[in-house]
Amino acid sequence: MHISEGVLSGPVLATGAAVALAGTAAGLKKLELDRVAQTGMLAAAFFVASLIHVPIGPSSVHLILNGIVGLLLGWAAFPAILTALLLQAMLFQFGGLTVLGVNTVVMAGPALICYYVCGPFVLKSPPVAFTAAFVAGAGSVFLAGILVGVSLVFTGENFLEVAGLVVAAHLPIMVIEGIVTVFCVAFLKKVKPEMLPGYSAGNMV
Amino acid sequence: MKKFLNVFGLICALIFMGHGMAQAHKVTIFAWVDGDRVFTESKFSGGKKVKGGTVTVLDSAGNQLLEGKTDDNGEFSFKTPDADGLTIILTAGMGHRNQWTLSAAELGTAGGDSTAPPVAAAAAEEQPEPVSPTVAIGLSAAEVEAIVARQLEEKLRPLTHMVAESREKGPSVADIFSGIGYILGLVGLGAYVRYRRENRSS
Question: Residue A36: its chain B contacts at CB < 8 A?
Answer: 187, 190-191, 194
At B24 the pLDDT is: 41
Residue A204 confidence (pLDDT) above 60? no
Conformational region of residue B112, where left means phi above 0, alpha means psi within -120 to 50, and beta covers everything else? left
User: Using an 8 Å Cβ cutoff, are B29 and B90 in contact?
Assistant: yes
Count CA atoms closer than 13 A to B28's CA, side-chain side.
20
pLDDT tens for A51-88 read 887 776 556 678 889 999 999 999 999 999 999 999 98
At B192 the pLDDT is: 87
DSSP, res B80: P
Beta strands in chain B (DSSP E): 27-34, 37-44, 54-59, 64-69, 75-79, 86-93, 96-102
User: Using an 8 Å Cβ cutoff, are A77 and A112 in contact?
Assistant: yes
Cα-Cα-Cα-Cα torsion B108, B110, B113, B119, nearest 10 degrees, comes to: 80
Nearest residue in A to B27, CA atom:
A4
Does this complex have an ipTM over 0.85? no
The distance of A97 to chain B (nearest Cα, Å) reads: 14
Please provide residue B24's backbone torsions phi and psi, each rounded to the nearest 5 degrees: -145, 170
Question: Residue B185: its chain A contacts at CB < 8 A?
Answer: none
At B3 the pLDDT is: 55
**What angle separates helix A159-169 from helix A126-153, to the nearest 10 degrees?**
140
| Rounded Cα gap, residues A179 and A130, in angstroms | 9
What's the average model confidence in pLDDT over A180-186? 91
Contacts of A142 by beta carbon, 8 Å cutoff, 6+ apart: A110, A167, A170, A174
At B14 the pLDDT is: 47
Mutation site, B2, B12, B15, B25, interface A, largest A CB count within 10 A: B25
Residue A25 confidence (pLDDT) above 50? yes
| Rounded Cα gap, residues B143 and B129, in angstroms | 14
Reduced to 3 states (helix: H, G, I; strand: E, B; else coil), residue B59 is strand
At A27 the pLDDT is: 92
The distance of A18 to chain B (nearest Cα, Å) reads: 20
Q: CB atoms < 10 A from the CB of B168, how many?
A: 16
Residue type, B172: S
User: Using an 8 Å Cβ cutoff, are A93 and A2 in contact?
Assistant: no
At B85 the pLDDT is: 82
User: Using an 8 Å Cβ cutoff, are B27 and B45 in contact?
Assistant: yes
**Interchain pair B184, A39: CB under 8 A:** no
Note which residues in 78-117 of chain B have CB less than 8 A from chain A: 91, 93-99
**Interchain pair A151, B95: CB under 8 A:** yes
Q: What is the CA radius of gyration of chain A?
A: 16
**Burial (CB count <10 Å: 0-12, 13-18, 19+), residue B2:** exposed
Q: Residue A85: which of A73, A71, A61, A102 has the closest Cα? A: A102
Question: 0.80 exceeded by the pTM?
Answer: no
At A197 the pLDDT is: 81
Of A48, A53, A157, the CB nearest to B11: A48
At A22 the pLDDT is: 95
Q: Which of A29-33, A156-160, B2-6, B81-85 is least confident?
A: B2-6
Of B21, B44, B94, the CB nearest to A148: B94
**Interchain pair A45, B183: CB under 8 A:** no
Letter string b/e over residues A31-44, b meaning 16 or more CB atoms within 10 A of that residue's CB: beeebbbbbbbbbb
Pairing of strands A61-62, A53-54: antiparallel
Q: Give mean pLDDT in consecutive 10-residue pieces for chain B, a chain of 202 residues.
A: 54 43 60 82 75 84 85 85 84 78 72 43 48 62 86 82 70 84 89 82 68
**Averaging pLDDT over each range in A33-37, A132-136, A148-152, which range is the top one?**
A132-136
The mean predicted confidence, pLDDT, of chain A is: 86
At B168 the pLDDT is: 63
At A111 the pLDDT is: 94
| Rounded Cα gap, residues A20 and A25, in angstroms | 8
At B4 the pLDDT is: 53
Q: What is the CA radius of gyration of chain B?
A: 26
At B82 the pLDDT is: 81
At A105 the pLDDT is: 94
Contacts of B190 by beta carbon, 8 Å cutoff, 6+ apart: A31, A36, A39, A40
